[in-house]
Amino acid sequence: MKILFVHDLVFRKRESGRISCNGGLTPLYFDRFFDASYDHVEILSRVCATGDKGVDFDTSVFSISSGSVSSYANLLSVRRFFEILRGLKAADLVVLSTPSVIGSYCAVVCFLFGVRYVVEVAGDDDAFASKRGGRLVTAILKILMPHFVRRAIGAAYVSEFLLCKFPNPKHVVASNVNINSIRVPRTIASSLSASRRFVIGFVGALTHRKGVDTIIDAADRLILTEGFKNLKFIIIGSHAESDWEAVVHARGLDDYFEFRGSQPQEKVLDFMDSMDLYIQPSRSEGLARSTIEAMSRGLPVIATNLPGFIELLPEFVLVQVGSADDLAAKIVSLSNRDTLQKCSELNRKRAGEYLYSELHAQRVMFYKGFGDENSNSPVG
């Protein structure tokens, strides 16, 4: 049986036929389908032939749909519309990732032609708000998302908040995080007032939506205004919307920042083990996988007061969205050994609820429930 998986991430397809992706989706993500007795995943997304290598996909069980596009503008092509429609009808099960532009487009096509689909809700309807043209996309998503999530034959959510906002009677709530173990109790050895470097980390797309600008502004205040010269910020991620290293250089903060680019998960965890504090000042978020990974390493975490973080973290570590002053003040107020140790212990305990073995079993059981259904029969 074949899954048609619809997303917005950029996949690379070489002339040799090799498929790769460096945008956060690895082959492990798709085990939920294979372990539910599907034997092939066809990916309908954005595709190009150049760029970073990323993680390779096994082409014996993965393929790129002919309906895939190099840019969103291709969705306006009549030929591409019919290619997408054929792909939707040919699949045994259609899985639409949302919020996404291509997923929303396919949801409309599915509605018009009676194709059944499952939706994976990984974020809120404002996920595109900080991007170019984001206001228009956000306005469309606010109208469409409640309808196409409700009309799906099932929905998988990364948080309880998203289930409450976009309900579907047949659902599972299981974060996409992949944690295999919880680190042994962590001993906090440093604080902001210590003489050695106090390392603050961030992992994610280097975008305004993830709050990279907020991190730089908070660092400016802490280092240049308040004089905390022992700080080091480690920034891990790709897909930069701005030249953040140039911004840091212009502020005179070169000595306090390290940009490590995209890293495999095992390297990310190694970096996390060298950090004293983790920050995630996102403007929009479903349930940040990197935050839960940091919690699993016993890292104290500061995040914004978004619903997804409210589910994960105590109120005293949350800050206002977009407020660099609030973030800087929170770093100072939390950064003593006793408070950091308390946060570390709370986070390890909470992260234990997101072990891959448990969540994967829930996802597999969810998708097994569609194995005997004809995904192309009319809706309703």
**Is the same domain home to 337 and 363?**
no
**Is the same domain home to 344 and 286?**
yes
Any idea what the Cα angle at residue 105 is, between residues 146 and 362, rounded to 5°? 55
Residue type, 233: F
**Domain-embedded: residue 380:** no
265-289 mean pLDDT:
89
Q: How far apart are alpha carbons 154 and 165 in whole angstroms?
A: 15
Q: Does residue 376 have a pLDDT over 90? A: no
Short-list 222, 290, 211, CA closest to 256: 222
**Is the same domain home to 36 and 85?**
yes
**Is the same domain home to 106 and 134?**
yes
Q: How far apart are alpha carbons 158 and 374 in whole angstroms?
A: 26
**Is the same domain home to 8 and 146?**
yes
140's tokens: 């469309």
**Is the same domain home to 153 and 205?**
no
Instruction: Judge whether 38 and 78 are in contact, CB under 8 Å.
Output: no
Distances (CA, A) of 140 to 80, 144, 230: 21, 6, 46
Backbone angles phi, psi at 19, to 5 degrees: -115, 135
pLDDT band at 106 (very low <50, low <70, confident <90, very high): very high
Instruction: Judge whether 155 and 169 are in contact, CB under 8 Å.
Output: no
Portion of the chain with pLDDT greater than 70, in percent:
96
pLDDT band at 322 (very low <50, low <70, confident <90, very high): very high
Q: How far apart are alpha carbons 302 and 314 in whole angstroms?
A: 10
**Domain-embedded: residue 213:** yes
**Domain-embedded: residue 79:** yes
Least confident of 99-103, 135-139, 193-197, 324-328: 193-197
Q: Does residue 191 have a pLDDT over 60? A: yes
**Summary mean pLDDT of the chain:** 91
**Domain-embedded: residue 193:** no
67-84 mean pLDDT:
95
Which pLDDT score, from 0 to 100, does residue 380 have? 31
**Domain-embedded: residue 18:** yes
**Is the same domain home to 157 and 301?**
no
Residues of the domain holding 251 = 198-353
227-239 mean pLDDT:
92
229-247 mean pLDDT:
93
**Is the same domain home to 209 and 304?**
yes
Buried b (16+ CB within 10 A) or exposed e, 221-258: bbbeeeebebbbbbbbbbeebeebeebbeebebeebbb
177-203 mean pLDDT:
84
Portion of the chain with pLDDT greater than 90, in percent:
68
**Is the same domain home to 342 and 364?**
no
Q: Does residue 372 have a pLDDT over 70? A: no
**Domain-embedded: residue 376:** no
**Is the same domain home to 121 and 247?**
no
Which pLDDT score, from 0 to 100, does residue 221 have? 97
Of 326 and 24, the one with more pLDDT = 326
Instruction: Judge whether 219 and 233 are in contact, CB under 8 Å.
Output: yes
Q: Does residue 155 have a pLDDT over 90? A: yes
Which pLDDT score, from 0 to 100, does residue 218 have? 98
| Count of domains for the chain | 2
Which pLDDT score, from 0 to 100, does residue 377 have? 41
| Domain of residue 118, CATH code | 3.40.50
pLDDT, tens digit (0-9, with 9 covering 90-100), for 4-28: 999 999 999 887 888 988 767 889 9
379's tokens: 């809706």
**Domain-embedded: residue 190:** no
Which pLDDT score, from 0 to 100, does residue 196 have? 83
Q: Does residue 373 have a pLDDT over 60? A: no
| Domain of residue 273, CATH code | 3.40.50.2000
Which pLDDT score, from 0 to 100, does residue 375 have? 45
Which pLDDT score, from 0 to 100, does residue 91 have? 97
Whole-model pTM? 0.81
Q: Does residue 132 have a pLDDT over 90? A: no
**Domain-embedded: residue 57:** yes
30-59 mean pLDDT:
90
**Is the same domain home to 55 and 170?**
yes
Instruction: Judge whether 280 and 305 are in contact, CB under 8 Å.
Output: no
**Is the same domain home to 139 and 225?**
no
Which pLDDT score, from 0 to 100, does residue 129 have? 78
Which pLDDT score, from 0 to 100, does residue 23 have? 67
Q: Does residue 193 have a pLDDT over 80? A: no
